[in-house]
Structure 1
Amino acid sequence: MARARKTFPVGRLLLILVVAGLLVVGGGWLWTTREWRAAGPLAVATDVTIPEGATLAAAARVLEKAGAIESTTGFLRKVRLFGDDAPIKAGEYGIEAGASAADILAMLQSGKTLQRLITIPEGMPSVLVRDRLMARDLLTGDVPVPAEGSVLPDSYSFERGESRAAVLKRMQDAMTRTVDQLWRTRKPGTVVTTKQDAVTLASIVEKETALASERRTVAAVYSNRLRTGMRLQADPTVIYPITRGRALGRRIRKSELAAVNAYNTYAMAGLPAGPIANPGKGAIAAVLNPAESDAVYFVASGKGGHVFARTLAEHNANVQRYYALRRARGEM
């Protein structure tokens, strides 16, 4: 007699098939998720530039060409599955070696572009500002020597391929805003009567002292001299018409001290014709709010700063002490 065959319940079979399907789908999802956050193909850190107005697809093509992602199609598929629809931002980005697709998308959406800086020190003359701009090979175009005193010393960010003219304009706009802001806070009775005069006097103060703690006192000395008609007798104003701000490289000659021109404050009373450098915010603030001081003289202390005097006798004594210090050091 034939034995009846045992049949497999249809419901159980369906359950097994469903579970198997879920395992396959879940495994695929897990694999894809892991791939989204896995290290990317980029072996060495590189910079990429996403053009203004680029779509995500266009950006992906840039990334693929740079070797930051395996393929444009694969990257876009992952973004659709795991990313969000926040817009990407144009600019230059530094992609680290091994950056994942998730990391790259987050970077493009954050707008955290590469920050390249060009620094203009306080007191830098405009010929050297132009030199510094022209030396940056990532910038484009030419610029003339900017007007003396028109650039605010600071650090400015720029992007690869940006024009030098655009960077210079930011520097000059920053100076205009700063002078306007400080002018509104000037001390009543300040000796300078125009913004241009404030920048001119500040440029002299900037060249005469490197110490922030002395700026207001140096500003007071020159303000007192201007107020009483004394000549400023500032050495940097003698040098400026000779070099236009570049280093003189030698001692000032007696003939240069006596030279009559629009800048030499040994040969004339009052301010020079214009700034002799680009003063920083601190120097401008100092001439608009100088220290309460009767000093009209100062000389180097030999210790990095200056000593100030109200009378010529006090000043001469300070000069002699300075010479004695230099002789003791073997400098004279």
Structure 2
Amino acid sequence: MSRLIGLVFISASFLIGWLWMDYRDYPDTLLGNASPVVFEVGKGQGYSAVADQLAGLGLVRKPRWFRYYLVSSGAAARIKYGEYEVPPAITVRDLVSMLVAGKVRQHAVTFVEGWRFRQMRERLQQEPGLEQQLAGKSDAEVMTLLGAPGQHPEGLFYPDTYFYTKGMSDLAILGRAYRRMQTVLDEEWRGRAEGLPWLTPYQALIMASIVEKETGRPEERARIAGVFTRRLAQGMLLQTDPTVIYGMGDSFMGDIRRADLVQDTPYNTYVRPGLPPTPIACPGAQAIHAALHPEPGDSLYFVSRGDGTHVFSRSLDEHRHFVEQFQKARKHE
């Protein structure tokens, strides 16, 4: 009998030892995914339910051991809720560390330089991971929610890529873009060149938006800003097509007619002196810098070559010559 008990004890000891050796290596076992897997831990979801969910996705092969590891490591009560993306070739230990640290999945939304505010709102509506708080609200209501009642929204949001986690609101993204624009504009305003005609940072922002729409070439932005600065200083009309287009609104069909250039709107710089009342788009950092550091010179005119670059002129006669030259070139294309 004692011999049988000894054998049972030895067998049990061997089994326990074998299980311990196997479990000891378990935290460093690779998960069973060859490609990234996305899953979500809900608010209030317990560690046992998380283990079952991961087992159902094929990530955890031994959910009982996974539960035991969560408890024994102290991670069971520290799992953060949210959306996770589990990369391939990750161990059980690393997965648990991810859950405890709350390294949730990051999404990105990009606002492009030169976009209008309506385009930003449309882009946010395309993000299924965002909580849509702005649906059905007017621009004025949006600005009130952002703590800027009465402000025209155009140009006040910095174009950049913004990262967010699932469940964040579209309003939160706009708030970040709004504050970022204020920060960038204030920094540039403090370091502005001397002798500029802009009385406020907002006027500089208006000019930056015009520069942004006039050229996509970084090397031309300060030069174009210089042209407009000199025209204002000499009491000349800005005569810039992007402001006319903005003032036309939905009636713009892709081409500006002669009649459009004489149609009086607050944004028609062919008939109204000075700057338009608001920005016409969201300028990027380079356009803002150019508006506050215009290139010196004597050119007062520029015309597009048709390839994205421009020819600059000092006199109206010279300008008309280049306009005719490039118009003829386009007719023969």
Cα distance in 2, alignment partners of residues 321 and 46 from structure 1: 59
Task: Please report how far the alpha carbon of residue 42 of structure 1 lies from its aligned counterpart in structure 2 after TM superposition.
Answer: 6.0
Match of 1:201, SS state, is helix
CA pair 63-116 structure 1, distance change in 2 beyond 3 A? farther
- Residue identity in the other structure for 2:312: F
Deviations, residues 56-99 of structure 1 (Å, cap 9, x unaligned): x8355335335344676532421455678996555421124675
- Residue identity in the other structure for 2:317: A
Match of 2:46, SS state, is helix
1:50–1:59 Cα contact (<8 Å) kept: no
Partner of 1:200: 206
Q: 2:112 aligns with which of 111, 121, 130?
A: 121
Match of 2:260, SS state, is helix
Partner of 2:313: 309
Cα distance in 2, alignment partners of residues 214 and 303 from structure 1: 13
Matches within 5 A, 1:229-308: 229-243=235-249, 248-308=252-312
CA pair 65-24 structure 1, distance change in 2 beyond 3 A? closer
Deviates more, 1:134-143 or 1:264-273: 134-143
CA RMSD of aligned residues (A): 3.1
Cα distance in 2, alignment partners of residues 291 and 48 from structure 1: 53
Question: Are 1:175 and 2:181 matched, yes or no?
Answer: yes
Partner of 2:149: none
2:47–2:76 Cα contact (<8 Å) kept: no
CA pair 89-294 structure 1, distance change in 2 beyond 3 A? farther
Partner of 1:135: 126
Task: Please report how far the alpha carbon of residue 155 of structure 1 lies from its aligned counterpart in structure 2 after TM superposition.
Answer: 0.5
CA pair 86-193 structure 1, distance change in 2 beyond 3 A? farther
- Residue identity in the other structure for 2:253: G
TM-score under structure 2 length normalisation: 0.82
1:134–1:142 Cα contact (<8 Å) kept: no
Match of 2:312, SS state, is strand
Task: Please report how far the alpha carbon of residue 258 of structure 1 lies from its aligned counterpart in structure 2 after TM superposition.
Answer: 0.7
Partner of 2:162: 156
2:227–2:301 Cα contact (<8 Å) kept: yes
* Structure 2 unaligned regions, length at least 5: 1-5, 143-152
CA pair 266-59 structure 1, distance change in 2 beyond 3 A? farther
Match of 2:113, SS state, is coil
Partner of 1:225: 231
Cα distance in 2, alignment partners of residues 64 and 224 from structure 1: 70
Task: Please report how far the alpha carbon of residue 24 of structure 1 lies from its aligned counterpart in structure 2 after TM superposition.
Answer: 4.7
CA pair 62-241 structure 1, distance change in 2 beyond 3 A? farther
Cα distance in 2, alignment partners of residues 287 and 118 from structure 1: 27
CA pair 44-311 structure 1, distance change in 2 beyond 3 A? closer
- Residue identity in the other structure for 1:28: L
Cα distance in 2, alignment partners of residues 141 and 65 from structure 1: 28
- Residue identity in the other structure for 2:182: T
Partner of 2:148: none
Partner of 1:106: 97
Question: Are 1:321 and 2:325 matched, yes or no?
Answer: yes
Q: Percent identity?
A: 34
Task: Please report how far the alpha carbon of residue 21 of structure 1 lies from its aligned counterpart in structure 2 after TM superposition.
Answer: 7.6
Cα distance in 1, alignment partners of residues 49 and 75 from structure 2: 19
Count of aligned pairs: 312
Deviations, residues 191-229 of structure 1 (Å, cap 9, x unaligned): 211111111111111000011111101111111111111
- Residue identity in the other structure for 2:124: L
Deviates more, 1:143-152 or 1:34-43: 34-43
CA pair 79-17 structure 1, distance change in 2 beyond 3 A? same
Deviations, residues 31-77 of structure 1 (Å, cap 9, x unaligned): 0123322244568743233457x6xx835533533534467653242
Q: 2:217 aligns with which of 182, 201, 211?
A: 211
Cα distance in 2, alignment partners of residues 318 and 307 from structure 1: 8
Match of 1:78, SS state, is helix
- Residue identity in the other structure for 2:212: E
1:258–1:267 Cα contact (<8 Å) kept: yes
TM-score under structure 1 length normalisation: 0.82
Cα distance in 2, alignment partners of residues 305 and 168 from structure 1: 33
CA pair 299-59 structure 1, distance change in 2 beyond 3 A? farther
Task: Please report how far the alpha carbon of residue 136 of structure 1 lies from its aligned counterpart in structure 2 after TM superposition.
Answer: 1.6
Partner of 1:33: 24
2:47–2:77 Cα contact (<8 Å) kept: no
CA pair 186-117 structure 1, distance change in 2 beyond 3 A? same
Cα distance in 2, alignment partners of residues 312 and 43 from structure 1: 67
